[in-house]
Amino acid sequence: MSKNTSDQTNFIQKIIDNDNASGKWDTRVHTRFPPEPNGYLHIGHAKSICLNFGLAEKNNGKCNLRFDDTNPVKEEEEFVQSIIEDVKWLGFDWEDRLFYASDYFNQMYEYAVQLIRDGRAFVCDQTADEIKDCRGTLTESGQESPYRNRSVDENLDLFQRMKDGEFNNGVKTLRARIDMSHSNLNMRDPVIYRILHAPHHRTGDTWCIYPMYDWAHGLEDSIERITHSICTLEFEDHRPLYDWYLDQLGVYHPQQIEFARLNLNFTVVSKRKLKQLVDENHVDGWDDPRMPTLSGLRRRGYTPESIRNFAEDVGITKRDSVIDVVRLENSLREELNKKAPRVLGVLNPLKVVITNYSDEKTEMLEAVNNPEDPQAGTRELPFSKELYIEQADFMEDPPKKYFRLGPGREVRLRYAYFVTCTHVIKDESGNVIEIHCTYDPETRGGNSPDGRKVKGTLHWVSVPHAIEAEVRLYDRLFLKEYPENGDSFVDALNPDSCKIHTNAKLEPCLANPENITYQFERMGYFKKDEKYSTNEKNVFIRSVSLRDSWARLMKQGANQQGV
């Protein structure tokens, strides 16, 4: 993966370099991450967090965490707490700079009064629909509100009374007095304040008028003396409005810079849509391991490093594009391949009896903890007469290219012995329930002294030593590459995105697993899930498979939907 190359390509860093050279901000770099606490953070936010905090770090600057909590109806304390936890988890530190837009409500109100005094804002009695109908189009001018020419005194009086709670929701607004024929629709006398009798999670019942996002956002950046106000492309058309507000007020004026938001295929990154998945119980909460939320990815086994590396790898651009979700998965694979201890675990057990092995004997065999990391050392693996192997590793009538076990065939058991299948036992319906093998004592450790070769190496677990577990294999939450193309993204959900193996058998070192991700050899990377585990049973979740199995499927044309 290309690391740190985005330093050269990150156009925002270039802007900062130029600003530093020209002395624009006295070499100060002050950014912020401004989430609205109306949902949990997702992978798209991670890109913005890494960018804002990363630029501050690289340039000896500062980055604030600021809650943009101007809409009391959708915002909750639960979301505030989850956002704080997630940004910390990603590894970033806002020090003592945790701010809330709601702390500036007084100041914003005063600024609005100033605009009214200057004849730049008016109280309007049009309804929301009337305002919309009078807005005009890209080719047609809008119509001025009949309330546009109210006197300053009347406006001051009405705005005060709006604040004092005299009017019902929607009856009046405060609007900027700009230009109803402006080519940019955002400049056509936009609403600054609306009446909303709703308690706020921080200010309670203090306010019944709330600032609109466009009014609030630029002011928040100004109040915090942000230098580089970084946002996503959809706000490019709003920049002239932010500029207008700040210039009219004559206050500190940060520079807004837009970049392309992160889009991932097979994924939805919109809080509103993720909330719908939660509210309609399509998933098991915001932190469901299939969710692209940071809390979901964390449970899935993603590490802060893998997400930060991914953000660095995809880089920053000015043009919208869709990133292949495989790059996110690969970022985790790459890290886990280096770090994850290897263990043996059987998901769908089939019993094997080694007929020529002693009943009483248990041998401790040496197993390598991580071939990528010699420091990781070795561990002891118990071997005995009765073992479990994976059901899929045995076929009674195997095709030619099947190199695993079948009647009369010989394979290697990882770290143990060569075994040959001699006998198959079935139940009344003809299902294979047990197989008998002989082992070759000369092949201890998995090597044959006579140079005999076997093509298959199977993982296994000793029956009397096995640890019971439940294992959950997650697949992509959406079957369609672009779930949002179509009537409803909900229709694109993958009905088989969670497969549960209730009868998995794991090697004994997993009796008390650490809070890390393991590689179950041949099966993928797995982590114990604290939420689903109980005192009786550990539940493991697969973080990622060893390789990208979807790439193969896509090549075969098995997935034509939504492409």
Q: Is 312 a catalytic residue?
A: no
Q: Which of 66, 175, 271, 299 is catalytic?
A: 271
Report whether 175 contacts 122 (CB < 8 A): yes
Span interacting with ligand ATP, options 156-164, 261-269, 323-331, 361-369, rule CB under 6 A: 261-269
In angstroms, rounded to a whole number, what is the distance separating the alpha carbons of residues 458 and 39? 45
Report whether 421 contacts 397 (CB < 8 A): no
Q: Is 528 a catalytic residue?
A: no
- The residues pairing with 259 across neighbouring beta strands, listed in sequence order, are 232
In angstroms, rounded to a whole number, what is the distance separating the alpha carbons of residues 363 and 36? 59
Q: Which of residues 211-240 bind ligand ATP (CB under 6 A)?
A: 231-232
Q: Given candidates 271, 333, 505, 527, which one binds ligand ATP under the rule CB under 6 A?
A: 271
Q: Given candidates 6, 10, 12, 44, which one binds ligand ATP under the rule CB under 6 A?
A: 44
In angstroms, rounded to a whole number, what is the distance separating the alpha carbons of residues 299 and 86? 12
Our finding on whether 20 is near ligand ATP (CB under 6 A) is no
* Residue with tokens 């071939």, as numbered in its chain: 371
Instruction: Write down the least CB distance from residue 235 to ligand ATP, Å.
Output: 7
Our finding on whether 545 is near ligand ATP (CB under 6 A) is no
In angstroms, rounded to a whole number, what is the distance separating the alpha carbons of residues 529 and 28? 43
Q: Which of 36, 305, 434, 484 is catalytic?
A: 36
47 or 542, CB closer to ligand ATP? 47
In angstroms, rounded to a whole number, what is the distance separating the alpha carbons of residues 294 and 307? 9
- Cα distances from 290 to residues 40, 130, 281, 471, in angstroms, run 14, 43, 13, 15
Our finding on whether 61 is near ligand ATP (CB under 6 A) is no
Our finding on whether 35 is near ligand ATP (CB under 6 A) is yes
Span interacting with ligand ATP, options 244-252, 262-270, 349-357, 535-543, rule CB under 6 A: 262-270
Our finding on whether 62 is near ligand ATP (CB under 6 A) is no
Our finding on whether 13 is near ligand ATP (CB under 6 A) is no
Instruction: Write down the least CB distance from residue 361 to ligand ATP, Å.
Output: 58
Q: Is 261 a catalytic residue?
A: yes
Report whether 224 contacts 56 (CB < 8 A): no
Our finding on whether 315 is near ligand ATP (CB under 6 A) is no
Span interacting with ligand ATP, options 44-52, 166-174, 307-315, 462-470, rule CB under 6 A: 44-52
Q: Which of 28, 74, 148, 261 is catalytic?
A: 261
Q: Per DSSP, which regions of 145-289 are E strands?
A: 173-176, 191-195, 209-211, 228-232, 255-259, 263-264
Our finding on whether 264 is near ligand ATP (CB under 6 A) is no
29 or 231, CB closer to ligand ATP? 231
Tokens linked to 161: 């009374």
- Specify the 3-state DSSP secondary structure of 92: coil
In angstroms, rounded to a whole number, what is the distance separating the alpha carbons of residues 282 and 270? 15
Query: Which backbone phi and psi does 306 adopt, to 5 degrees?
Result: -65, -35
36 or 305, CB closer to ligand ATP? 36
271 or 472, CB closer to ligand ATP? 271
Report whether 380 contacts 336 (CB < 8 A): no
Tokens linked to 384: 């005995």
| Residue of closest CB approach to ligand ATP | 44
Instruction: Write down the least CB distance from residue 257 to ligand ATP, Å.
Output: 11
Report whether 120 contacts 248 (CB < 8 A): yes
Span interacting with ligand ATP, options 137-145, 269-277, 391-399, 426-434, rule CB under 6 A: 269-277
Instruction: Write down the least CB distance from residue 486 to ligand ATP, Å.
Output: 19
Q: Given candidates 261, 339, 404, 522, which one binds ligand ATP under the rule CB under 6 A?
A: 261
Instruction: Write down the least CB distance from residue 294 to ligand ATP, Å.
Output: 12
Report whether 252 contacts 222 (CB < 8 A): yes
- For 492, residues 6+ apart whose C-beta sits below 8 A from its C-beta are 478, 479, 480, 483, 486, 561, 562
Our finding on whether 66 is near ligand ATP (CB under 6 A) is no
Our finding on whether 48 is near ligand ATP (CB under 6 A) is yes
Return residues touching ligand ATP (CB under 6 A).
Answer: 34-36, 44-45, 47-48, 231-232, 261-262, 269-272
Active centre residues (catalytic) = 36, 261, 271
